[in-house]
Amino acid sequence: MDDADLIPISALQHYLYCPRQCALIHVERQWAENRQTAQGRLLHSRADQPLSERRKGVRAITAMPLVSLELGITGVADVVEFHDSLPFPVEYKRGKPKIHRADEVQLCAQALCLESMFDDAIPQGALFYGQTRRRRDVAFDDDLRALTRDTVIQTRNMIAAGETPLAKYSPGLCNACSLLDLCQPKLLAQGQGVSRWLLKQLAD
């Protein structure tokens, strides 16, 4: 697969959180920051610096590039620990564990890349949440692997089609999204349509 056909692992997390958010970022190339994304950026600041260190017999590499040509995905792992030479991915998140599986899919996609790169079966990794200051181990079982592979296909198809899904307002997701003002989910979900919204903006 050509490098231009690779999709970022982060897009999988965006897609499961909200397909429209994913399209705004990865198709329309739009972005905006809010308090949550700024806090997340600060949390990642150390992990974003390439570094290798060893503690208590465990080697840890930060900002490790990842790729799976089979799946056509690429990204950068926050931290990859090596326990007796077996990779163990760790993904840092700002908030707390969620009811959806977007974070788990992002982590599993990293594991699939590592399996391709190191030719090792990786049974688990961990999510570290800044709000709880705790790690949560994630087992890469058959169901999670299948969901991850299916999400890769759905995300790739949406990006390739170059179409942004219509807005569906969900308070729990939309109000925390940094793209809320760009997306206008309340307005578009009410059936007013983009053209009517544009006309109103021009009139104002």
User: Which amino acid, residue 27?
Assistant: V
Query: Residue 171 — pLDDT band, cuts 50, 70, 90?
Result: confident
How far apart (Å, rounded) are the C-alpha atoms in residues 27 and 47? 27
| CA angle in degrees (0–180, nearest 5) for 190-194-197 | 80
Determine the average pLDDT of the residues in 144-162. 97
In the Cβ-directed half-sphere of 54, how many Cα atoms lie within 13 Å? Answer: 4
Asked whether 110 and 92 are in contact (CB, 8 A), the reply is no
Q: Considering only residues 123 and 167, tell me which one the structure prediction assigns the higher pLDDT.
A: 123
For residue 168, what are its two tokens? 């569906």
How far apart (Å, rounded) are the C-alpha atoms in residues 185 and 131? 27
| pLDDT tens-place string over residues 71-111 | 999 999 999 999 988 999 999 988 888 888 999 999 999 99
Q: Tally Cβ neighbours within 10 Å of residue 202.
A: 7
User: Which amino acid, residue 57?
Assistant: G
How far apart (Å, rounded) are the C-alpha atoms in residues 81 and 53? 10
Query: Residue 186 — pLDDT band, cuts 50, 70, 90?
Result: confident
How far apart (Å, rounded) are the C-alpha atoms in residues 68 and 95? 28
pLDDT of residue 13: 94
Q: What is the dihedral of CA 116, 119, 121, 122, to 10 degrees?
A: -60
For residue 149, what are its two tokens? 């592979």
pLDDT of residue 2: 60
Furthest C-alpha separation in the chain? 66
Whether this model's pTM surpasses 0.85: no
Residue ranges per domain, the chain?
3-165, 166-204
Q: Which residues, in sequence order, are bridge partners of residue 8?
A: 74
Pick the CATH number of 3-165 from 3.30.1360.20, 3.40.50.2300, 3.30.559.30, 3.90.320.10: 3.90.320.10
